[in-house]
Amino acid sequence: MDLFSNLALGFGVALTLKNLFYCFIGALFGTLIGVLPGIGPLATIAMLLPITFHLEPTGALIMLAGIFYGAQYGGSTTAILVNLPGESSSVVTALDGYQMARQGRAGVALATAALASFFAGCVATIVIAVAAPALSRMALLFGPPEFTALMLMGLVAAVVLATGSIVASIGMVMIGMLLGLIGTDLTTGEQRFTFDVREIFDGIDFVVVAMGLFGVSEIISNLADRHTRELPATKITRLLPTKQDFLQAAPATIRGTLLGSILGVLPGGGALVSSFASYSLEKRLATDPSRFGKGAIEGVAGPEAANNAGAQASFIPMLALGIPPNAVMALMIAAMTIHGITPGPKFLTDQPTLFWGMIASMWIGNLILVVLNLPLVGLWVKLLKIPYAYLFPMILVFCCVGVYSINYRVFDVFLMAGFGVFGYCLRRIGCEPAPLVLGFILGPMLEEQFRRTLLLSDGDFLVFVTRPLSATLIGVTVLLLVMMALPTLRKGRESAFRE
Amino acid sequence: MGARQQHWAGFFFIAFGALAIWAGRGLTVGTASDMGIGYAPRALAIGCVGVGVILLLQTLFSAPVDGEPRVSLAWRPLVLVTAMVLGFGVLLPRLGLPLTIALMIPLAALSGESFRWPTMAAIAAGMALLCTLLFSTALKLQIPIWPF
């Protein structure tokens, strides 16, 4: 079968000694930074980007993917041990995982999280291998109107599924798009919003924006909050779950994996939404829902499986269509562009070794994480004990070096400082910067497709609804917007996020 | 988003949109069938202003919640972190990587977090050495190392 020969090709690439090493280093560094509170996967990838600069594309992508899971993974470790979710998608894990730790079952919770994630990762890898080629074959039929409609739907869905005010999120997307349009226009060669600053003639680098909005501004927020950190008092003794644990966790893991694989593909989906959805599903299915919040093992297994599957499934639209479903994938696209790779429908057929090597390395990365993390848990805990006064200047140094080494100019460092202040102010007025980042990447693409569509249709906007595929996509977009305008549904969304 | 925050957010979006309209005033807008480079920016800028207006209108109809904190900025970390990043940018081309890092890290003492000087000094020296070895020696990034 085609799938197996492709996977064999992929493992052939991923199992070379060099690529195994990159995968290992990526997973290790990803976990290392992911464990630190207040640094999500986005900032972690942005920070570690420079260490992939000198590698050839395959190695670099494998390492980046490794960093990505590592960061996801590290987040759940701290969620369980110290009730401090390293990133938003492990907020749910903290609910029951931390309670398990307080009952002296920290080891079991960690092992459950690791094994559930591993299972979900294995399944999601196969889902990507099947779905991505199919989706990219479909995308070859897409014309400019379809791509425009698809991106619009993606942006709207991302806004609807995000937390916070929808109107403000739409505004953030538009600001992101405006910032993304800065620089020289590719079709006409004219400049927009450059104010004669030569350094931004080619546009603002995405990594600078991401690092400022997520790295620097998060440090400012963390220092302002001055959270006192609770140190883990529990000793990790027993790692292996009992037979009863296993019987409770296994079905939850399978349900979580399925949920994550589906939700992850949707625009705006991914790890966060999947884990929330899985937690409420498990709670609803449980014979005794009152156990949740008091150390129910399903409450760890389900969401952990779901967030891992969701995180990995969000690679599908990114790789197959070149359209990022969330901010982290937007950063992955930027990272791939640095290495001269453009994800999209042609990526699979043009670069099969790269694509399948990356898929195979995802599976290997998951395996490495299980092997790496369970014995090293003690080390991660020690890392948490480092006072923030020592930690934040180190993170800041990495951010600065990282941003400087994209183009070797200090202008980018100054720009990052600016975006740091901007991001902090945005947070203070209640505007989350994640939709901005998505708009930043999609803005120029959307403009190009939109321009092409209307050029071909001679300015007729009806072209979007007369072609069946784009009409469907526009229909879904409108439906999403209408749904959110209805007060009852809006309340439902609010309570879903509060839970 | 609290009512006070929403107020600020409304003004922010209007200001940003207005700025974009002003900054893009010289760009050709064109028509739908023959779009100029100003078409999308103008549309987005107007959208921004629209978002701001909606947010402000919403605050008129929602009663302010008691006890909602005022929107304020934590000036100390804001200024300190910004200064550290800017300092890195200014010093790097003049002093090289290790010296810049060694000077930048101790600034963290001003953050108000508790720390000990010997540890801080050790971290500054350690990071200077580690970053130089990692980024310059091992990864061969073209970063200035020496102050001359």
Using CB atoms, pick whichever of A392, A397, A414 lies closest to residue B127.
A397
Mark which of B37, B61, B85 sits at the end of a domain. Answer: B61
Phi, psi of A192 (to 5 degrees): -125, 135
Residue B126 and residue B79 share a domain? yes
pLDDT at residue B16 in the model: 95
Mean pLDDT of chain A: 84
Q: In this structure, are B52 and B7 located in the same domain?
A: yes
Is B25 a member of any domain? yes
What per-residue confidence (pLDDT) applies to A352? 86
Span A260-271, average pLDDT: 77
Distances (CA, A) of A418 to A251, A316, A364, B78: 48, 33, 39, 11
Is the CB of A178 less than 8 angstroms away from the CB of B41?
A: yes
For the stretch A431-464, pLDDT in tens is: 888 889 888 988 888 998 899 899 888 888 888 8
- The answer to whether position B105 is within a domain reads yes
Q: What is the per-residue pLDDT for A255?
A: 92
Contact A86/A35 with Cβ under 8 angstroms?
yes
- Contact list, A167 vs chain B (CB under 8 Å): 51, 54-55, 58
Please give the Cα distance from A288 to A278 (Å, whole number). Answer: 16
- Per-residue model confidence as pLDDT tens digits over A192-218: 888 888 888 888 988 899 889 988 988
B80 with B50, same domain: the answer is no
- pLDDT value, residue A279: 86
Domains of chain B: total: 2
Taking 70 as the threshold, does the pLDDT of residue A163 lie above it? no
C-alpha span between A7 and A359 (Å, rounded)? 8
Confidence of residue A494 (pLDDT cuts 50, 70, 90): low
Q: What is the pLDDT of residue A433?
A: 85
In this prediction, residue A445 carries a pLDDT of 87
Q: pLDDT value at position B12?
A: 95
Statement to judge: residues B23 and B53 lie in one domain: yes
Looking at the fold, whether B45 and B85 belong to one and the same domain comes out as no
- Amino acid letter, A482: V
User: Are both B17 and B57 inside the same structural domain?
Assistant: yes
Q: Model confidence over A27-55: pLDDT tens digits?
A: 888 888 878 766 777 888 888 887 887 78
Q: How distant is the Cα of B113 from the closest Cα of chain A, in angstroms?
A: 5
| Most confident listed range (A232-236, A379-383, B9-13) | B9-13
Predicted local confidence at residue A136, as pLDDT = 86
Both B97 and B52 in one domain: the answer is: no
A481 contact B CB<8A? no
Using a CB–CB cutoff of 8 Å, tell me whether A419 touches chain B.
no
B84 in the same domain as B55? no
B79 and B52, same domain (yes or no): no
3-state SS assignment for residue A59: helix
pLDDT band at residue A493 under the 50/70/90 scheme: low
Q: Are residues B50 and B85 in the same domain?
A: no
Residue A94 above 60 pLDDT? yes
Report how far residue A271's alpha carbon sits from residue A66's, in angstroms, rounded to the nearest whole number: 16
- Between the CA of residue B8 and those of A306, B3, B57, B70, B78, what are the distances in Å? 36, 9, 12, 11, 19
Which residues span the domain enclosing B118?
75-138
ipTM of the complex: 0.94
Backbone angles phi, psi at A430, to 5 degrees: 80, 20
B-contacting residues in A 94-113 (Cβ below 8 Å): none
Closest Cα in chain A, distance from residue B56 (Å): 11
Which tokens sit at A64? 């980046």
A-B contacts at Cβ under 8 angstroms:
217
Percent of chain A at pLDDT exceeding 70: 91
pLDDT of res. A232? 54
Query: Distance between alpha carbon A115 and the CA centroid of its chain, in Å?
Result: 20
- Domain membership of residue B148 (yes or no) is no
Task: For residues A162 and A156, give the distance between their C-alpha atoms in angstroms, rounded to a whole number.
Answer: 10
Pairs from A44-47 (Cβ < 8 Å, separation ≥ 24): A44/A70, A44/A71, A45/A71, A45/A328, A45/A331, A45/A332, A45/A335, A46/A207, A46/A210, A46/A211, A46/A214, A46/A215, A46/A331, A46/A399, A46/A402, A47/A211, A47/A215, A47/A395, A47/A398, A47/A399, A47/A402
Domain limits of chain A? 2-141+203-424
- Highest average pLDDT, of A108-117, A332-341, A387-396, B48-57, comes from B48-57
Write the residue in A50, A416, A454 that is nearest to B33 by C-beta.
A454
* Residue A187 clears pLDDT 90, i.e. is over it: no
Say if B68 falls within a structural domain: no
